[in-house]
């Protein structure tokens, strides 16, 4: 159920003077009086504690597109959620409202900028659904599709192709339902031996995702997972630098944002669990730094339970400059370390805040501890001296989320 009051309040706050917002308000006024939309809108929102993004879609009748789209958001996460909600196979004309929004549209859609009515639009279709649906059997390991998947099995191949692989029915189904830019699918006969597998394959085909049936030998050549999974999928992923070429922040946020920074997390399973926890806590994004595991490692992807691909991920090779930029933009940077004097429960959440967790064995680096605005420890009973990094991230994040929810409830 759409809360039109919240939608209108958001639009009037972030973009009150745009023609698109004025047209929507006029159509809503007609809807209130007559019960009919003129024209009819599809409305998508991104909301958890607060409404942080709105996407409006209406049928396009003049130009070569299925719909005209207005999208605006206050955080990286809210915008990504809206873009992933955009239906596959639909060609949209996106009204460009901000440079950072344009860049994120290009990261999820195959698109070009076009000039219409003296305005710039982005004409695009979600990556992976722009081509003709292909279905065929692959019986040889030398097949170009199988070779491509083997390339994606390497970390270098993932970054070279801006894509990663998810394995198994659960993660593939989640990726499809989440609207992630799935590019293609490989499956074995065991998938279609069950009703659930047949339904999943049917949904994939309906989504215009090319799918290829392979034998266990071909599937085994592209993954080391045993027993071999019945289905795998390749998904496009943008993994941008947190800093632009000019060393400014390539990251959009609101004053209520929480960011997680993971430094030198070396175990991909631990990193995946940390990302899953961050996603559940509603962070705006996760920033990875240091010499840790890759978020595209298959164990990380599996342990993240869908967070890789849905949650905005950034990296940086210059953490000192990154923290400096965060501080200059009003951010607090709170490091979790067992050696801190301050108890986390005595800390008030002054947002926006970045929570920093470190390596499983050595914790935060000396450099990071010096960069943080404050260091805190998680209280523990006698017997243990540290938490698993994913648990530590969860404890810290949820205490800040608790305080954030409380502050909204008192407004």
Same fold, 4-126 and 139-236: no
Please write the tens of the pLDDT for every residue from 316-355.
999 999 999 999 999 999 999 988 889 988 888 889 999 9
User: Is there a cis peptide before residue 182, judged by omega within 30 degrees of 0?
Assistant: no
What per-residue confidence (pLDDT) applies to 293? Answer: 96
CB atoms closer than 10 angstroms to residue 36: 9
User: Which strands make up the sheet holding 109-116, listed edge to edge?
Assistant: 41-47, 51-59, 67-73, 92-95, 119-126, 109-116
Q: Where are the domains of the chain?
A: 4-126, 139-236, 258-409
3-state helix, strand, coil in the chain (%, to 5): 40, 25, 35
Give the integer Cα–Cα distance in Å for 37 and 272: 44
For domain 258-409, give the fold.
Alpha/beta knot (3.40.1280)
CB atoms closer than 10 angstroms to residue 218: 24
Pairing of strands 51-59, 67-73: antiparallel
Half-sphere exposure at residue 253, Cβ-oriented, CA atoms within 13 angstroms = 24
**pLDDT under 50: residue ranges of the chain:** none
Helix (H) or strand (E) holding 384: none
For residue 177, what are the CA distances in angstroms to 128, 174, 245? 14, 5, 35
Could you tell me the two tokens for 248?
């400014």
The CATH architecture annotation of domain 139-236 reads 2-Layer Sandwich (3.30)
Give the integer Cα–Cα distance in Å for 91 and 64: 8
Torsion of CA 168, 174, 180, 181, to 10 degrees: 30
Give the integer Cα–Cα distance in Å for 394 and 399: 8
Residue position matching structure tokens 């909204």: 408
Task: Fill in the DSSP letter of residue 228.
Answer: P
Are the beta carbons of 213 and 187 closer than 8 angstroms? yes
CB atoms closer than 10 angstroms to residue 62: 9
CB atoms closer than 10 angstroms to residue 33: 8
H helices within 178-287, ranges in order? Answer: 195-206, 216-222, 268-280
Please write the tens of the pLDDT for every residue from 366-381.
999 999 999 999 888 8
Give the integer Cα–Cα distance in Å for 57 and 71: 9
3-state class (DSSP) for residue 352:
coil
Pick the closest to residue 165 from 143, 147, 150 (CA basis). 150
Residue position matching structure tokens 């990261």: 107
Q: Which of 1.10.287, 3.40.50, 3.40.630, 3.30.720 is the CATH number of 4-126? A: 3.40.630
């Amino acid at each position: 159920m759409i809360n039109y009051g919240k939608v209108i309040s958001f639009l009037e706050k972030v973009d009150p003077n745009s023609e698109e917002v004025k047209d929507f308000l006029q159509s809503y006024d007609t809807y209130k009086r007559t019960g009919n939309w003129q024209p009819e809108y599809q409305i998508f929102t991104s909301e958890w504690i607060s409404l942080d993004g709105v996407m409006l879609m209406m049928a396009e009748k003049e130009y070569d597109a299925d719909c005209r789209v207005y999208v605006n958001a206050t955080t990286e996460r809210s915008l990504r959620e809206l873009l992933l909600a955009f239906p596959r196979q639909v060609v949209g004309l996106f009204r460009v409202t901000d440079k950072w929004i344009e860049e994120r549209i290009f990261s999820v859609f195959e698109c070009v900028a076009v000039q219409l009515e003296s305005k710039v639009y982005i004409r695009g279709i979600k990556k992976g659904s722009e081509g003709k649906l292909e279905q065929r059997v692959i019986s040889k390991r030398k097949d170009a599709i199988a070779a491509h998947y083997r390339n994606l099995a390497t970390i270098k191949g993932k970054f070279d192709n801006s894509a990663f692989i998810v394995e198994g029915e659960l993660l593939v189904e989640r990726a499809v339902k989440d609207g992630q830019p799935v590019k293609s699918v490989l499956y074995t006969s065991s998938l279609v031996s069950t009703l659930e597998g047949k339904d999943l394959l049917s949904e994939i085909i309906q989504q215009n995702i090319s799918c290829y049936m392979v034998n266990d030998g071909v599937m085994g050549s592209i993954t080391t997972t045993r027993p071999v999974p019945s289905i795998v999928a390749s998904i496009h992923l943008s993994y941008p630098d947190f800093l632009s070429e000019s060393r400014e922040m390539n990251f959009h946020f609101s004053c209520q944002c929480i960011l997680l920074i993971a430094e030198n997390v070396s175990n991909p399973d631990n990193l995946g669990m940390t990302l899953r926890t961050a996603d559940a806590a509603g962070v705006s994004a996760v920033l990875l730094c240091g010499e840790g595991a890759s978020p595209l490692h298959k164990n990380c992807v599996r342990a993240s339970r869908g967070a890789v691909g849905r949650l905005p991920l950034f990296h940086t090779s210059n953490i000192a400059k990154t923290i400096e930029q965060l501080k200059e933009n009003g951010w607090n940077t709170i490091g979790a370390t067992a050696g801190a004097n301050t108890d986390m429960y005595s800390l008030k959440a002054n947002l926006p805040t970045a929570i920093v967790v470190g390596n499983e064995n050595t914790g935060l680096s000396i450099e990071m501890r010096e960069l943080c605005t404050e260091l805190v420890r998680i209280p523990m009973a006698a017997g243990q001296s540290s938490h698993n990094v994913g648990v530590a991230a969860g404890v810290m994040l949820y205490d800040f989320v608790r305080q954030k929810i409380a502050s909204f409830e008192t407004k």
